[in-house]
Structure 1
Amino acid sequence: MRIPGWVERTEGEIPTSISAHPRQPRRVPLNPHVVVALWGNGGIRLLTGFLTLFAAFVIKQSTQHEPVMQLVLLGLVGGAAGVGSFLGNGIGSKMHFGKPDRVIIACLGGTLAVAVCAALLAGLPLAVVVALVGATASALAKVCLDAVVQHRMPEASRASAFGRSETILQLSWVFGGAVGVLLPPVYRIGFTVIAAVLALVLAQTIAVERGGTLLPRLPRRPAPATAQARSRS
């Protein structure tokens, strides 16, 4: 079944796109700060999605024929994630962040640090720490993303920007979960791979925050209107 586009579009809404293109005059490009926030949040969601499924497979592999122990260990990881989510939302609701880009990059850097520690000191205790830090960083970075969209996007395009950002975050979580399923259930291997992925995402986030990109095919920040007028003339 196909749903017509007008069903999911409110009256007067202007859809957003990752980049502005002359052939798409009716679309608004995402603000550069929103793009930075999406890269940072996407990287953190990669970690949380990875840990959710990877920890389940590792615990099942290491505690075969012990369902009660499996439930307890999964409860530790899930409980740590729940506490982290509560802390992140609580901190985000009480504090005012003047530079949300820096906060998001710091959150992503913190998740990378604990992932590296978990790769070096493999074991369930470090997995619990990763769940705690990852959930805290995810909730805090999401608060910053919502604030950036609210303040940096025009009112007519905010709904589209929120919808696009949620889609990107969900896909990031799914990709991280797929990585956790495909890798062998060994703590050291899994956290080494996800730490390498997070390092690449962190480098890309910093590059985008500075106006560049590590991926040549991705568009850079839109040029100012005066520069565009000069290039056309």
Structure 2
Amino acid sequence: MRAGRGVRQATRRLTHAQGADRTGLGRLIELTAAHGAGDVLITVGLAGTLFFGLPVDQARGQVALYLLITMVPFTVVAPFVGPVLDRFRSGRRYVMAGTLFARGLLCWAMAAAIGPADGLTLFPAALAVLVLSKAYNVCRAATMPSVLPADITLVTANARVALFSLVSAGVAAPVAVGLTAWLGADWMLRGTMMIFLAAGVVAVGLPRHVDAPDLDFDEEEEEYEAGEGKGGRRQRWRTLLNVGPVVAEAMRGNAAIRLLSGFLLFFLLFLIQEGHLRGSGYPKEVMIAILAGGAGAGGLLGAVVASWVRGHSPQIIVLFALALATTTATVSAFFFSLWTALVVAVVAGFAQEVGKLALDAIVQREIGEEVRSSTFGVVEALLQIAWVGGGLAGLLLSLLSGRSAGPIGLAVIAVALVAALAWLIITRRRRLRAVSERIRAAKAAERNAPSPASAAANPQDPRPHAPKPYGDGARTDTAKPLTDTTKPLTNPHG
């Protein structure tokens, strides 16, 4: 009892450090940790209903179907989820609580469907849980700037949330396995329902400043008249296709990393099942556990490293993560074995975690409050599609026969990563060069612009004149600023 109290107190000190207790970040960290543990409990409870224990050929078909099914909700629902969350950003606490309450009720429905193997209830409920989990993550990510303490950067805050979520998931996994073996998956899911309901109550109790104020009528009218978009509400949709070059670069880099992650998961799984992974005499279950543990350890290491990062550009972090994953996959293709596969799994988990945390920080910094949730919805959809694409590629390449399947498969994915990295570097250099040219042109125009006194003395001067004051020139200090002081939807200079 005393040990448990000590663990709770130590955890509370870590989650509430550096002013996180005052801003609400500490409570959000604890809430997301419970969310991550609940997701793991659901995954373990449903694991026996999917494809484990099936023959390899039948399992491959089941996995392909599973991948396609998981992609459909994101390609169809994600464009709707983000705008809905933006419309209700003044009630983000209740949106997060609603996703948690709904998942709790769905756990009860899935528990009732497991016994009679009611697929018509089980699979739609599982997909709804997946969509609601992503909706929570989108809303939580959009909320982060509202609870950010002054002494913590966005990358560090995101890493702290991810770190505690991963730790709670790692603790919940063996507990879920034990409870499933002891009580059965149905009763374990019923217990998971209680976790989600309690987490929903905690979400309602988050600080009020988590809820962003809605624009009033005058602000919306000013936004429309300012030309931010023609057609009013349609602007929110059009903005999603123009997130800015910085966000677009980070999304492409993370998509390439997520492609590798999905590829490794299913490619290595079926290589082990078919006995094509050489270099050890371990049983299949042990090799799968080794690789899964390596990927989890890599993700945990990525969260720890990101929490220590200070003063480094998130864009550089994304490039570094992709370059590290590309290099490791390329080298491992030439020296393929269980242990090089383990190294690739660790690096892929590390790169995925670090890259995603940097991407979240970039979106939180570059995208305005008005469409931040919508942008995060598109990000989650893109990354899910990339992961599914990698998984399908892994399934296809695992059909190669013989022990050459491993090196060939890794070589193919390494070539794809090299192409993605080269494209990212080239586009980044072009963008930075264009920004430098715009800055030089602006400075040159400023130097060539005449002063107001010389412009008045020589009205025939062909050089561009400086802006005239408002009215008759009497309002010089109190004139309305020429530039809008609100944060732009995207960074035009990024």
Shorter-chain TM band: 0.7 to 0.9
Residues 1:208 and 2:284 are matched in the alignment: no
Task: Indicate the SS of the match to 2:283.
Answer: helix
Distance in 2 between the 1:127 and 1:170 partners?
23
Q: Which residue of 2 aligns with 1:60?
A: 273
Query: Does the residue aligned with 2:377 lie in a helix, a strand or coil?
Result: helix
Counterpart in 2 of 1:71?
A: 285
Deviation per residue, 1:164-198 (Å, 9 max, x gap): 10111111111011110001261111100000010
- Residues 1:139 and 2:356 aligned together: no
Closer/same/farther in 2, CA of residues 161 and 5 from structure 1, 3 Å limit: closer
Which secondary structure does the structure 2 equivalent of 1:56 belong to? helix
Give the CA RMSD over aligned residues. 3.1
Alpha-carbon distance change, 144 to 178 in structure 1, aligned in 2, over 3 angstroms: same
- How far apart, CA to CA, are the structure 2 residues paired with 1:21 and 1:123? 54
Give the C-alpha shift of residue 31 in structure 1: 2.1
In the alignment, structure 1 residue 130 sits paired with structure 2 residue 344:
yes
Counterpart for residue 8 of structure 1: 84
Q: Are residues 21 and 45 of structure 1, via their aligned partners in 2, closer, same or farther at CA, if it must alter by over 3 Å?
A: farther
Is 1:172 the counterpart of 2:391? The answer is no
The answer as to whether partners of 2:86 and 2:372 remain within 8 angstroms in 1 is: no
> How many angstroms apart in 2 are the aligned matches of 1:177 and 1:89?
24
Distance 2:283 2:293 in 1: 15
2:411 to 180, 192, 196: 192
Q: Say whether the 8 Å CA contact 2:86–2:371 is kept in structure 1.
A: no
User: Which of structure 1's runs of 4+ aligned residues deviate more than 6 A?
Assistant: 20-24
Amino acid paired to 1:202: L
Distance 1:118 1:155, change over 3 A: same
Mark the structure with the bigger radius of gyration. 2
Amino acid at match of 2:320: A
Task: Find the aligned partners of 1:38 and 1:192 in 2 and give their Cα distance.
Answer: 23
Q: Which residue of 2 aligns with 1:98?
A: 312
Q: Percent identity?
A: 33
User: 1:25: Cα distance to partner?
Assistant: 4.5
Q: Find the counterpart in structure 2 of residue 230 from structure 1.
A: none
Deviation at 1:8, TM superposition (A): 2.7
CA distance in 1, matches of 2:427, 2:385: 20
Matched-pair contact (CA < 8 Å) for 2:255–2:386: yes
Q: AA paired with 1:10?
A: D
CA distance in 2 between counterparts of 1:108 and 1:47 reads: 10
Q: CA deviation at 1:106?
A: 1.2
Return 5+ residue gaps in structure 2 as ranges.
1-75, 88-213, 221-227, 442-494
Shift of residue 63 of structure 1? 7.1
Distance in 2, Cα, partners of 1:22 & 1:205: 32
Judge conservation of contact 2:263–2:394 (CA < 8 Å) in 1.
Answer: yes
How far apart are the structure 1 equivalents of 2:80 and 2:339?
48
Shift of 1:79: 0.3
Query: One-letter code of the match for 1:55?
Result: L
- Alignment partner, residue 229 of structure 1: none
* Pairing 1:109–2:323 present: yes
Structure 1 position 208, deviation (Å): 2.7
The Cα shift of 1:10 comes to: 3.3
| 1:39 match | 252
Amino acid across the alignment from 2:354: L
- The answer (yes or no) to whether the contact 1:46–1:177 under 8 Å persists in 2 is yes
Q: Which moved more, 1:90-99 or 1:131-140?
A: 90-99
**Equivalent residues of 2:302, 2:353 under 8 A apart:** yes
2:289 and 2:350 mapped to 1: Cα distance? 17
C-alpha distance in structure 1 between counterparts of 2:286 and 2:339, whole Å: 13
1:27-47 superposed Cα distances (whole Å, 9 cap, x missing partner): 322021111111111111111
Q: Structure 1 residue 81 and structure 2 residue 295: aligned?
A: yes
Question: Looking at both structures, which has the greater relative contact order when contacts are Cα pairs under 8 Å and sequence separation is at least 6?
Answer: 1
Q: Counterpart of 2:312 in 1: which secondary structure?
A: coil
Whether the 8 Å CA contact 2:253–2:420 is kept in 1: the answer is yes
1:118 CA displacement: 1.1
CA 1:114/1:8 → structure 2, altered by over 3 Å: closer, same or farther? Answer: same
State the Cα deviation string for residues 117-153 of structure 1 (Å, max 9, x = none).
1110011111000000110011001110000000011
Does the 8 A contact of 1:101 with 1:209 survive in 2?
Answer: no
Secondary structure of the residue aligned to 2:303 is helix
CA distance, structure 1, for counterparts of residue 425 and residue 337 of structure 2: 30
Among 353, 362, 367, the residue aligned to 1:153: 367
Q: Name the CA shift for 1:147/1:181 in 2 (closer, same or farther; >3 Å).
A: same
Which residue identity lines up with residue 178 of structure 1 in the other structure? L
